[in-house]
Structure 1
Amino acid sequence: MSRTHRHTPSTTLATTNPTTLAEAELILERCNDLAGLSRHPERMERVHLSPEHKAANELAATWMAEAGLSTWQDAAGNQCGRLEGSEPGLPALLLGSHLDTVPDAGRYDGMLGVLLAIQVVSRIRDSGIPLPFALEVVAFGDEEGTRFGMALLGSRALAGTWNDDWWQLTDKDGITLAEAFQDFGLDPARLPGAFRRPGSLVGYLEAHIEQGPFLEDAGRRLGVVTSIAGARRFALVMTGHAGHAGGTPYDRRRDALVGASELVIEVERLSKQQHVIGTVGRLQAFPGGVNVIPGRVEFSLDLRAEFDPDRDESVALIFAAAESIAERRGLSFSATEIYRADATVCDPGLQDAVFAGIRATGDTDPMRMWSRAGHDGVAVADLTAIAMLFIRCRGGVSHHPDEHVKKVDVAAALDAFEAAVLAVAASTPARSAA
């Protein structure tokens, strides 16, 4: 069962001051600027290692420099910046999110988190508060996996969990990931330069739109993320036999599309029964003639859950249903796992810092919730402790042009994110540079 707490605010949220609202307006304007860097003039799409990615990195680097960060693009194409702490060379608290998008995207998923991080650094630099760690901002180049079908490439490179088999991944034009690196001006042989050393970071904080309706339903601006869903993705195939639509009686048909369609309904039924989230997002019938019984159907399965055992049990139930459908209809079924990310629990201490940050905005009992969507923190957690701040989005809509956030919510998120960083600083013992 979901462990999201749904309750009403315990106090009236603090009034946002004009200066913070002006900063929120700046952040939203910058989101619009980034939204203009799209492969298509009529819709938003910016993919990994594209000209639009390069332009977005350059724009983000300009804003990072204005905030006082020294900047560089790492060997994986992530845009990075650093503000030293109380002395040079200290381990860093990493803040950030991603700049890539899905096709026909909104303008806040990922981008808002990067821009909030930059503005927090600007505030702390202007305050002159010495921190017991450096602050770094990262704008990951590939979280969505839109171009090469493998998500979290940017953050997996930073975490040092890169798999060299990925170099042979291809995009829809047949360009390999290795070739795309070279086209972007990167050298695949130098990729290890993007890997961060264990101990080089004290933690990772990310602000992100919720991509769901739970904050809005509860009347909350902000939430503390407790964990990030475990996800598995599969390429599925149902195979039958193609035949003439008019000449083949029903008792002799081996219609792969009917079998696949029955399984799609089972995915929904079983997901509701098991309290997981199952989605078939892609389905294609072959040979594809309007007067031909489909002999083969290729489709997808995305399955997510708060806890990995619930996810894995649901996969087994869905596959058992698929085999039963196939046997009954004279079909064959196969599944190939193409992506797996186990559930990631956010660090309790960093969660407490985010909780304190939200309380500083006037919400005395911040809402704790698990993330149904995946995030770069899944990869970064292999290197350091992570936590996340969620910001409500209108209707819970994301991965769509209707994605929307309120300026007052962005202002509250900015205050909360800065307060969370300062809370981490307060709980971090002083240390010397390595």
Structure 2
Amino acid sequence: MTTKQLKRPEVLAPAGTLEKLKTAIHYGADAVYIGGDAYGLRSRAGNFSFEDMAEGVAFAKEHNAKVYVAANMVTHEGDEQGSGEFFRTLRDIGINAVIVSDPALIEICALEAPGLPIHLSTQASATNYETLEFWKNEGLERVVLAREVSMEEVRAIRAHTDIEIEAFIHGAMCISYSGRCTLSNHMSKRDANRGGCSQSCRWKYDLFDMPMADTRRSLLTSGEVEEEDFSMSAVDMAMIEHIPDLIEAGVDSFKIEGRMKSIHYVSTVANVYKAAVDSYMADPDNYVCKQEWLDELWKVAQRELSTGFYYQTPSEEEQLFGPRRKIPVYKFVGEVLAYDDTTGLATIRQRNHFSVGDEVEFYGPGFRHFHQPVTEMIDDKGVSIERAPHPMMVLTMPVISPVEPGDMIRKKK
């Protein structure tokens, strides 16, 4: 297969805030998806005002990137009120598409905001090409596949329809079928499908024996083992080792989950998948997944990793219980605000505590990396300090190699 027969997939990153939007694009994302103040499923993700959206769209356009808005809630009676005006505002701001699952919102958007492209959310659980053809005939431009679709099914879907396919390739997995869960509703009175999920599946559980005739609870554990024996919490997905399969199967957009993740996470994961896609498209016949990409992904906070449903039905090995089998060993400590090439000093905004004598790693877009010890730190009053303990404090420090605004700093825990 030659490069001419392959379409370069879009790297689509999450952006829970305006800062994360700019970070994701700076680190190579071709597009980002965000949430507004209504109709989305991440009510705690630092959602965007219309003013922030306008600034985000302007930034994206400057960098030839796109911005999509998730409006993928399941509407109950009355929830749809005001959505027509909401969609018209998104269209007029310049949002590239809206991601929707509820047919009522899809119809309202199509009728009241003509010209605003609609993508079907993964919440709609699209798992076959007949479904994709249906939504294509309804005027949608793209379908986000259910996360339960296998690689074989992706190939079959692509063979029978030409609508754009978006698929999750990295991030958290839901224990329920594409998010169709009401645990949160029952346990914390927060509606998961209207943006309030409390992630009840991530809680720790024990099993109790409660005989009908005995109201006493006897905990079924052996000895004094503290690790939980039972779990509903799925490991995360990572498809970094299977980029060729995804591209050759015809996936148009590689979606990274995580609108509530940090700029450290967003920058690292976008950087990795951008590098992998670029490498494959440059020379598909000689493509190799680099170990440095795998190592890089384990420098950010995440759960253990698997390939989800792409190659097999997940087993108990894809559930989180007992002691962790692998733990990230780095933490995010700062970001570069400026660099003076005449003095070799970088201006840093602190994000986590670090001190003189620490070994730190600088990294930036395009997989720029270097390590160095922290030899000196000077606070904003010009005073030499031994440590940077205060969140968001600004300081300067000498660096052994040029850096750029937006570069990040991490250190081993």
Q: Would you say same fold, with TM above 0.5?
A: no
Q: With the length of structure 1 as denominator, give the TM-score of the two structures.
A: 0.21
Which gives a bigger RCO, structure 1 or 2 (Cα 8 Å, sep 6+)? Answer: 1
The structure whose residues are more often helix, as a share, is 1
Q: With the length of structure 2 as denominator, give the TM-score of the two structures.
A: 0.21
